[in-house]
């Protein structure tokens, strides 16, 4: 299969590889896919708690070149976006940007899932925190 230039560029020079501290309250982690299916993405976002803007995004991906390119592109797009803007990213945007062929569309779906999972994780953590502070406030 021939790859598009953009896929090759992201594959050869992936952006934002690495890990953020998954225990930090400002970090949301999404882990999607399965080794048996041939692709697993871990995508993390670090969010500013007052502005709700994504300050940093990192990924690690086990998968084909298109899966790696999709996650690399996703982290590039995430930085500087608000939570709402990030949640609005669609897999079709990734397909279009990377010109993915039909057989590789699932890579873009996985990237969208990873974004949603990471932000979902952040929101869950922070709701718990909010609930925690409210409980403390009531007590006081």
Partner 1 sequence: MKLPIYLDYHSTTPVDPEVFKTMAPYFTEVFGNAASRNHEYGWTAEAAVEHARLQVAQLIGATDKEIIFTSGATESNNLALLGVAEMYAEKGNHIITSPIEHKAILDTCAHLERKGYEITYLEVDQYGMVSPESVRDAITDKTILVSIMMANNEIGTINPMAEIGKVCKEKGVLFHTDAVQGVGKIEVDVQKMGIDLLSLTAHKIYGPKGVGALYVRRKNPRVRVSAMVHGGGHERGMRSGTLNVPGIVGLGKAAEMARKNLNTDIPRIKALRDRLWDGIRSQLDEVYLNGHPTERLPINLNVSFAYVEGESLMMGMKELAVSSGSACTSASLEPSYVLKAIGVGEDLAHTSIRYSLGKFTTEEEVDYAIEKTVSTVRKLRDLSPLYEMAKEGIDLKTVAWTGH
Active site residues: 37, 107
Instruction: Specify the residue, 68 or 73, whose C-beta has the smaller distance to partner 1.
Output: 68
The residue with tokens 């057989």 is 103
Instruction: Specify the residue, 76 or 113, whose C-beta has the smaller distance to partner 1.
Output: 113
Note the Cα 28 to chain centre separation in Å.
9
Instruction: Specify the residue, 44 or 81, whose C-beta has the smaller distance to partner 1.
Output: 44
- Distance between CA atoms of residues 73 and 57, nearest Å: 11
Report the interface residues with partner 1, using CB under 8 A. 1, 3, 8, 11, 14, 17, 19, 31-42, 60-65, 67-68, 103, 106, 109-110, 113
Q: Whole-number minimum distance, CB 115 to partner 1, in Å?
A: 14
Q: Whole-number minimum distance, CB 34 to partner 1, in Å?
A: 3
Q: Whole-number minimum distance, CB 63 to partner 1, in Å?
A: 5
Q: Whole-number minimum distance, CB 135 to partner 1, in Å?
A: 29
Instruction: Specify the residue, 35 or 140, whose C-beta has the smaller distance to partner 1.
Output: 35
Q: Which two tokens stand for residue 100?
A: 């993915």
Are the CB atoms for 52 and 87 separated by under 8 Å?
no
Q: What share of the chain is helix, strand, coil (3-state, %, to 5)?
A: 55, 20, 25
Phi, psi of 46 (to 5 degrees): -110, 125
- Distance between CA atoms of residues 29 and 24, nearest Å: 10
């Amino acid at each position: 299969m021939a790859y598009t230039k953009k896929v090759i560029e992201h594959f050869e020079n992936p952006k934002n590889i690495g890990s953020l501290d998954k225990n930090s309250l400002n970090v949301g982690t999404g882990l999607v896919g399965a080794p048996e299916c041939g692709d697993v993405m871990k995508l993390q976002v670090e969010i500013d708690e007052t502005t709700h803007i994504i300050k940093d995004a990192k990924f690690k991906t086990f998968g084909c070149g298109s899966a790696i390119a999709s996650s690399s592109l996703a982290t590039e797009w995430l930085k500087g976006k608000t939570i709402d803007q990030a949640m609005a990213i669609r897999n079709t945007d990734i397909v279009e940007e990377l010109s993915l062929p039909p057989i590789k569309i699932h890579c873009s779906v996985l990237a969208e899932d990873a974004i949603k999972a990471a932000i979902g994780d952040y929101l869950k953590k922070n709701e718990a925190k909010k609930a925690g502070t409210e409980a403390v406030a009531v007590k006081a």
